[in-house]
Structure formats: structure tokens, C-alpha cells
Amino acid sequence: MTSDCFQVYPIGFIKKQDSQTIITIRTAYKDALLGLDQFSHIIVCYWFHQNDTPEKRNTVQVYPRRDKSNPLSGVFATRAPLRPNLIACSTCKLLAIDKLKITVNEIDAFDKTPVIDIKPFIPSRRSLVDVKVPEWVQSKASRKK
């Protein structure tokens, strides 16, 4: 059976205070945290709730990093927050778990952002080879050095 609509339920919310980022998990998902503390990093999937308007969901092309010197690109070729489905994923260093609170090093999300899933980061046994990225991605990497 297929459906044109899906329901996504928040499992928790991001709380940013001072320099700390804490993911507060809903009580119903407490048992889902078992064993997560054995990992150094987690993948946090969340909802770009502040972009949830029909206009923003219908945006299909953007300038990467909001920089008009970068080539106009389809949203599927970027990590832009404007997308048909507002799902974002960030890999975070797991600093601590205390009951229903997960402390991470940082996340590219706002305070009160709904978290829709958490997965442990498991490095692949095989490295990717022949990886290709556009020049605008490479130039950003070289600017960080």
C-alpha cells in the first residue's frame, strides 16, 4: 500500500542554551536510548520547521550557501534548508546522555527544532573512492584551511 502523505512525529526537541546543545527526548522513547552511549557520534534527523511554508517547500533551485557567486543549483544538489520535505540530518559528537537529555557538540538547527530520528554513526567498512563534488564545495573546503 502506498500513500501520498506520511505522518512524522517528533521524538524530541533541540534545546540551545548558552554554548550547550541538548536534545531532549520524549519520555515515550526513553528505552530507545539503550546502548546509544556506546557510540562517539550520532546522526540526528530533524525538521526544518521554520521553513514550513508552501512557498519555501516549492523552492526547487537555490544558490548554494546563499552565495550568488555559486551556480544556481537544484535543492537536491545542495544542503539548503529550502526543500520539498523539510528533513535535515547532522552528524554530531555525542558528549553525554543523562536520562532524557542528549548533549552534543553542535548542530545546524535552531532552538526548539523538532527531532524526528536519531541513529548511531557507524563508519563504513569500505571507503568511498572516486568521490566527485562541484567546485563551489571544494573552494569552501580550501577557505577553511
pLDDT digits (tens, 9 = 90+) for 96-107: 999 999 999 999
Segment 124-141, tens digit of pLDDT: 867 778 889 999 888 755
**Residues of the chain scoring pLDDT < 50:** 142-145
> What is the pLDDT, as a whole number, of residue 17?
87
Which residues lie closer than 8 Å to 32 by C-beta, 6 or more apart?
11, 25
Number of domains in the chain: 1
Helix (H, G, I), strand (E, B) or coil at 16: strand
pLDDT of residue 4: 83
| Predicted local distance difference test score (pLDDT) of residue 129 | 83
Residues in the chain: 145
CATH number where 121 lies: 2.40.30.70
Cβ proximity of 36 and 94 under 8 Å: yes
| Model confidence pTM above 0.95 | no
Domain assignment present for 1: no
The answer to whether the beta carbons of residues 42 and 91 sit under 8 Å apart is yes
pLDDT of res. 61: 97
Residue 99 lies in a domain: yes
**Whole-angstrom distance, CA of residue 126 vs CA of residue 71:** 32
Q: Which domain holds residue 18?
A: 12-144
Has residue 75 been placed in a domain? yes
Contact present, 49 and 10 (Cβ < 8 Å)? no
